[in-house]
Amino acid sequence: MIKKYIMTPGPTPISGQVLREHGRPLMHHRSPEFSEIFIKATGKLKKFMKTENEVFILTSSGTGGMEAAITNAFSPGDKVLVASTGNFGQRFKKLSKVFGLDLIAIDYEWGEALDPEDIREALDRDPDIKGVMFQFSETSTGVLNDAMAVGEIVKDYDGITIVDAISGLGASEFKTDEWNLDIVIGGSQKGLSAPTGAAFVSVSPKAWNLIEKSTMPRFYFNLLDAREAANRKPPQTPWTPAISIIVAINKAMDLLLEEGFERSFARHKLLAEATHKAVERIGLKLLVKDPKDRGQSVTSIMVPEGIDGKKLSNIMRTKHGVTIAGGQGKLKGKIIRIGHLGWVGMFDIITAISSLEMALKDLGFDLDIGAGVAEAQRVFYENKFFGE
Amino acid sequence: MIKKYIMTPGPTPISGQVLREHGRPLMHHRSPEFSEIFIKATGKLKKFMKTENEVFILTSSGTGGMEAAITNAFSPGDKVLVASTGNFGQRFKKLSKVFGLDLIAIDYEWGEALDPEDIREALDRDPDIKGVMFQFSETSTGVLNDAMAVGEIVKDYDGITIVDAISGLGASEFKTDEWNLDIVIGGSQKGLSAPTGAAFVSVSPKAWNLIEKSTMPRFYFNLLDAREAANRKPPQTPWTPAISIIVAINKAMDLLLEEGFERSFARHKLLAEATHKAVERIGLKLLVKDPKDRGQSVTSIMVPEGIDGKKLSNIMRTKHGVTIAGGQGKLKGKIIRIGHLGWVGMFDIITAISSLEMALKDLGFDLDIGAGVAEAQRVFYENKFFGE
ipTM of the prediction: 0.93
Neighbour-count burial of B105, counting CB atoms closer than 10 A to its CB (0-12 exposed, 13-18 middle, 19+ buried) = middle
Burial A95-107 (b: 16+ CB within 10 A, else e): bbebbebbbbbbe
**From the CA of B327, how many Å to the nearest CA of chain A?**
12
pLDDT for residue B388: 64
Burial B225-258 (b: 16+ CB within 10 A, else e): bbbeebeeeeebbbbbbbbbbbbbbbbbbbbbee
Numbered ranges of CATH 3.90.1150.10 in chain A: 5-10+260-382
pTM for the structure as a whole: 0.95
DSSP H or E run through A6? strand A5-6
**CB-nearest partner of B20 from A11, A23, A28:** A23
Of A3, A37, A60, which to mutate for an interface test with B (greatest number of B Cβ within 10 Å)?
Answer: A60
SS3 B350: helix
Q: Which fold has domain B5-10+261-382?
A: Aspartate Aminotransferase, domain 1 (3.90.1150)
Residues 6+ apart with CB under 8 A from A81: A104, A105, A106, A119, A122, A123, A126, A129, A131, A132, A133, A159
**What is the torsion angle, in degrees rounded to the nearest 10, for the CA atoms of residue B319, residue B320, residue B325 and residue B331?**
-50
On whether any CB of chain B is under 8 Å from the CB of A9, the answer is: no
Contact between chains at A59 and B59 (C-beta distance less than 8 A): yes
On whether any CB of chain B is under 8 Å from the CB of A94, the answer is: yes
Burial A339-354 (b: 16+ CB within 10 A, else e): bbbbbbebebbbbbbb
pLDDT for residue A343: 96
Give mean pLDDT, residues B214-228.
98
**From the CA of B219, how many Å to the nearest CA of chain A?**
7
Whether domain A5-10+260-382 has CATH 3.30.590.10: no
Contact between chains at B11 and A20 (C-beta distance less than 8 A): no
On whether any CB of chain A is under 8 Å from the CB of B8, the answer is: yes
Residue A347: which of A271, A284, A259, A238 has the closest Cα? A271
**What are the residue ranges in chain A where pLDDT is below 50?**
none
On whether any CB of chain A is under 8 Å from the CB of B26, the answer is: yes
On whether any CB of chain A is under 8 Å from the CB of B240, the answer is: yes
On whether any CB of chain A is under 8 Å from the CB of B217, the answer is: yes
Cα–Cα distance list, A158 to A75, A207, A226, A292 (Å): 15, 10, 25, 30
Half-sphere exposure of A296 (CA within 13 A, CB side): 19
Cα–Cα distance list, A287 to A142, A190, A276, A313 (Å): 8, 21, 10, 17
On whether any CB of chain B is under 8 Å from the CB of A23, the answer is: yes
On whether any CB of chain B is under 8 Å from the CB of A202, the answer is: no
Above 80 in pLDDT, residue B288? Answer: yes
Give mean pLDDT, residues B131-159.
98
Numbered ranges of CATH 3.40.640.10 in chain B: 16-257
The conformation of residue A139, written as its DSSP 8-state character, comes to: T
Contact between chains at B196 and A8 (C-beta distance less than 8 A): no
Cα–Cα distance list, B34 to A280, B45, B233, B245 (Å): 32, 16, 13, 12
Q: Which fold has domain A16-257?
A: Aspartate Aminotransferase; domain 2 (3.40.640)
Average pLDDT score, chain B: 97
How many C-beta atoms lie closer than 10 Å to residue A2's C-beta?
Answer: 10
Question: Which DSSP string corresponds to A147-195?
Answer: HHHHHHHHTTSSSEEEEE-TTTBTTB---TTTTT-SEEEEETTSTT---
Distance of alpha carbon A71 from alpha carbon B144, whole angstroms: 35
Contact between chains at B64 and A220 (C-beta distance less than 8 A): yes
